[in-house]
Amino acid sequence: MERLKKRWQRCEDLKTKVRRITLLLEKQYGIPRRERSGDPLDILIGTILSQNTNDRNRDKAYQRLRTRFPHWEDVLEARTRSIVSAIRPGGLAGQKARRIHEILHWIKEREEKVSLVFLKKMGFEEIKKTIGALKGIGPKTLHCLLLFGLGREAFPVDTHILRIGKRVGLLPEWMGAEKAHAWIVPFLPKGKCLSLHLNLIRFGRSVCKARKPQCHICFLTKECLHPMK
Ligand code: SF4
């Protein structure tokens, strides 16, 4: 009983800490507005292109793909090597092109058209089961689709969030990104996924950088457990 009580207390403490951090970030950066969700398929392909690369290369690859193939049906009909050449700036072009092709085929076979709009009618768990089972769609890609393409409360954990989460004690040191998605969910304040996600990324790019965290200008020092702070 005592152990259970302690565990419960630890969960409550962590929830409070996440809430405090969310508010401090909002005070500093504001509350990001939820714009109209993008088209779910655009978001999904964009997120696949973002795997293992930075935003600049992702955007370049995405723009080249859309310029060469204005409709997703065009990508479906294209040869894999043409897709590879279009998305080359994003890296891992061969693997990404195969995955994109396979996913578009799967959608066409299922829906008889190349669109993910059918997901809008599904519940959270059903989407996870349907889309999360496809090759090339890991937890981060799935959560990006849920948050940005379908307007759901989901929390993608990217490298910035994983790093900061560990430094400030939201995530255990040993945890990888795959596990972190499911682990963090019970501690997130309701309705704050988008805000916390976007503000943490902004914080990670400008203050809590990977190599040289700017601890001297940091407004989260009180929350931080990092030995270098
Ligand atoms: S004190 Fe330093 S390590 Fe800790 S959150 Fe701030 S910038 Fe990151």
pLDDT, one tens digit per residue, over 85-121 is: 999 999 999 999 999 999 999 999 999 999 999 999 9
pTM above 0.75, yes or no: yes
The arithmetic mean of pLDDT across residues 29-51, rounded, is 90
pLDDT (tens digit per residue) in 172-191? 999 998 899 989 999 999 99
Residue bearing the CA closest to ligand 1, atom 2? 215
CA of 165 to the centre of ligand 1 (A): 10
- Among 117, 120, 118, 96, smallest CA distance to 45 is for 96
Residue bearing the CA closest to ligand 1, atom 4? 224
Residue 169, by phi and psi: left (phi above 0), alpha (psi -120 to 50) or beta? left
Q: Which ligand 1 atom is nearest residue 207's CA?
A: 7
Beta carbons of 146 and 116 less than 8 angstroms apart:
no
Active site residues: 140
Q: Which ligand 1 atom is nearest residue 214's CA?
A: 7
Q: Which ligand 1 atom is nearest residue 225's CA?
A: 4
CA of 208 to the centre of ligand 1 (A): 5
Q: To 10 degrees, the CA torsion angle through 164, 166, 171, 175? A: 120
CATH number (3.40.50.11720, 3.40.190.100, 1.10.1670.10, 3.40.50.880) of 2-34+156-223 reads 1.10.1670.10
CA of 226 to the centre of ligand 1 (A): 7
Q: What 3-state DSSP class applies to 191?
A: coil
Neighbours of 105 (CB within 10 A): 12
Q: Which homologous superfamily does the CATH classification assign to the domain defined by 40-149? A: Hypothetical protein; domain 2 (1.10.340.30)
| Pocket, ligand 1, Cβ cutoff 6 A | 167-168, 207-208, 213-215, 218, 220-221, 224, 226, 229
* Confidence band for 37, pLDDT divided at 50, 70 and 90: low
Domain residues of the chain, as ranges?
A: 2-34+156-223, 40-149
Region of poorest pLDDT, from 4-8, 75-79, 155-159, 196-200: 4-8
